[in-house]
Structure 1
């Protein structure tokens, strides 16, 4: 085991960050599995299904674990980056493999944009403009008949095809709900703090929320928020995100 070549790792298995992420290493005739739950900070290391390490880190900014097996010392490292984690396995201080969690190929092909804003007077809306059936994860709440609302258009563009693959309309409050939902998915992980926030809410008593200057400035802020959110690994696994984006089948 101590002289095992660096290419003896044959499988690197990833699962969505919304649940347990298992990384499997082949150790000659043995195998090691690292399970890292980025939501609650639990990390488990097993060799041949035997548990070698089990711990939880409430404020998850990474960790390092020494695993003794058949006279060899394996080091399993979880390193926090700005928006993800890097996973490494070393054998007697020799790096066997290193993997940086990245967005999926599907996600990397997409760009989220907020392209337009409309200010209109409602007839009384009980739900999101994109989902009036009451089933939206990001319901902006009810509006009264005759109340002014600003509605922002979200578009999802495919880099490879140049086409718009999703479109939806949302009020500002729904972007705030989306942000809270995404943050809650990563729990106490350092990733929660890395999620870009939408523009801050401003009091209507001090600001005209329907002036051309204000809604355009807010649209620009929401566009930056959605663009950065689109680069966050695992964003497409957030419950209701396809509905919010108007993609459904991406």
Structure 2
């Protein structure tokens, strides 16, 4: 199965193509441009440089949250648009936090995927990594740092990954030798991790119509509407 993956959920824009045996192409850019300006040109480059066409793609995986409201809509919207023009292609929505855990699939121990939602509030989930497999321990949640870490059962080897991993290591776990941060090339979102997640769990595959965003908290428009109400 050839998988095209798109991640626009955070500070990076990332595209990858895999064929279950190999990673054929990947590019990740920490960009000052909006994801809407760069993601489709990156997809076109990925197809051109691998000699593939949309007819060769079986599934498009996308990070469907949590993350940037605008970024998530751009990624999911792009996938729905591509599938509309190529209806044979299946879609797959992958938790951003699960994909971050796959960045560290070689780690043996617990992985804490953490992203900054707003000051002192994080998106977080915990996973167990062993023998090249990722197993979910907790659901994705949005909560205070205190709540998230107070409920966590610590173990011998802990890896922090995500856009606030280094901040949390320095602030909360500076002296904890059993807590490390992911390498710099793996600490932020990478589209190849979406490919691995789908290859390990085909239940993530759905139709483009079924693909939806998981914000975990109300959008600004929803908050404004509630405030007016």
> TM-score interval w.r.t. the shorter chain?
under 0.3
Q: Which has the higher contact order (CA 8 A, sep 6+)?
A: 2
Considering fraction of residues, name the structure with more helix: 2
- Which of the pair has more CA radius of gyration? 1
Considering fraction of residues, name the structure with more strand: 1
Normalised by the length of structure 1, the TM-score is 0.26
